[in-house]
Amino acid sequence: MHKAILIAGPTASGKSALAITLAKKLNGVVINTDSMQVYQDLRILSARPTIDDENQAEHRLYGHVSGGREYSVGDYLQDVKECLNEVAAVGKTPIFVGGTGLYFKGLTQGLIETPAIPAYIRTRLYEEHEVGINLHARLAKTDPELAKRFEPANHVRIIRALEVFEATGKTMTYWQGNANSAPLLQAGCWKGIFLHVERETLKERIHARFKAMIGAGALDEVRRLIALNLPANRGIMKAHGVPHLVAYLEGRLTLDDAIEAGQMDTRRYAKRQHTFARGQLPAFEFTDTIRAEEKLLECII
């Protein structure tokens, strides 16, 4: 298989444009590595590539999942496995691009293998979160090492850690250290970079892009999501901007306040993306967009 290129980075850092440029030069296929861009119901607010982008280079694993479905890292890796086989068969270069650190970690370090979690455990934990029970404090008692890595507001990962402990009797820290499957991309067969953008520049881009999304029809997109009548804790309903725009459409926020809250959430997410990459993706090289193309081309040509 051709050596793979992996382009990570915070939202609005220019990852997609770089991926398309490289795909044109390397006979490449752009493969989605973003957990929100998999959903067919979320093109605008997930900043999925446009139709014009898709016409410039082949894109895979974008918009192929129904919004009503929960889509795990394991599901993603299974889809990637099939995709890689198809890309290799036609001699093209796989170019992974996106902002989901767990997807990149799974691709390059393997997936933490844990037993199936009974649905009633997950449902109960989400119900406890909804009524305000401090699940982070509970995690600190069962898995203090992991609790230190999670902000109290990161309820999705806190609940995941708690449900694994309740179902298996072993902490997520144990599983992370003892039960990884083999990565799809072996060491030496890929080159990864993380696009670093100066903080104020990134902030300006995030603010401008969110406003552009509103102009491009984000409110209509959220109206369609509301019509699906999905639980508020479903993955697609937690996409950046969605909860606040739902609040606006339901009369609980002004549009200006919803936009400001969506921009703030996105900035915070960008910070978490950077922190995750520093701590969890050690083989990725941090670089700016100017030098990124040259560094990636060097590893292929």
Res 2: pLDDT: 53
Let me know whether 168 and 103 are in one domain: no
Give the domain extent around 164.
Answer: 119-178
| Residues 195-250 pLDDT 10s | 999 999 999 999 999 999 999 999 999 999 999 999 887 889 999 999 999 999 99
Identity of the amino acid at 177: G
- Answer yes or no: do 276 and 139 share one domain: no
Dihedral, CA of residue 230, residue 231, residue 232 and residue 234, to nearest 10? -80
Residues 157 and 24 in one domain: no
User: What is the number of domains present in the chain?
Assistant: 2
Global pTM reads: 0.83
pLDDT at residue 179, as a whole number: 56
Q: What is the mean pLDDT of the segment spanning 51-77?
A: 93
Helix, strand, coil percent content, the chain, rounded in steps of 5? 55, 10, 35
Pair 210, 80 in one domain: yes
For range 78-100, the mean pLDDT: 96
pLDDT score, position 1: 44
Residue 12, token pair as written in the block:
């609005």
Tell me the per-residue pLDDT of 32-43, one tens digit each, with 9 for 90 and over.
999 999 999 999
* Tokens 């936009």 sit on residue: 259
From the list 215, 211, 220, the residue with the least C-alpha distance to 266 is: 211
Q: Are 24 and 87 found together in one domain? A: yes
State the pLDDT at residue 301: 58
**Angstrom distance (rounded) from CA 294 to CA 176:** 35
> What is the reported pLDDT for 284?
97
CATH number assigned to the domain comprising residue 153: 1.10.20.140
As a whole number of angstroms, the distance between CA 60 and CA 73 comes to 16
d(CA 216, CA 196): 27
| Chosen domain end from 134, 157, 178 | 178
**Cα separations in angstroms, 56 against 28, 34, 173, 209, 289:** 11, 20, 43, 22, 20
117-126, 250-259, 291-300 — most confident range = 250-259
**Gap between the terminal Cα atoms of the chain:** 15
Q: Which amino acid is at 262?
A: G
From 178, 197, 219, give the residue that closes a domain: 178
Q: Read off the pLDDT of residues 119-176 as tens digits, 9 standing for 90 and up.
A: 899 999 999 999 999 999 999 999 998 999 888 988 888 998 999 999 989 898 888 7
Q: How many CB atoms are closer than 10 A to CB 121?
A: 16
Residues 212 and 283 in one domain: yes
Domain co-membership, 264 together with 163: no
Q: Which of 178, 194, 213 is the last residue of a domain?
A: 178
Rounded to the nearest 10 degrees, what angle do helices 135-142 and 155-168 cross at? 50
3-state secondary structure at position 274: helix
Domain shared by 86 and 195, yes or no: yes
| In a shared domain, residues 23 and 107 | yes
Which of 13-17, 56-60, 114-118, 290-294 is predicted least confidently? 114-118
CA atoms within 13 A on the CB side of 29: 20
Supply the CATH number for residue 63's domain.
Answer: 3.40.50.300
Residues 21 and 154 in one domain: no
What is the C-alpha to C-alpha distance for residues 244 and 252, in angstroms, rounded to an integer?
A: 9
76 with 168, same domain: the answer is no
Q: How much of the chain exceeds pLDDT 70, in percent?
A: 98
Answer yes or no: do 253 and 270 share one domain.
yes
Average model confidence (pLDDT) across the chain: 93
Q: Which of 79-83, 126-130, 296-300 has the lowest mean pLDDT?
A: 296-300
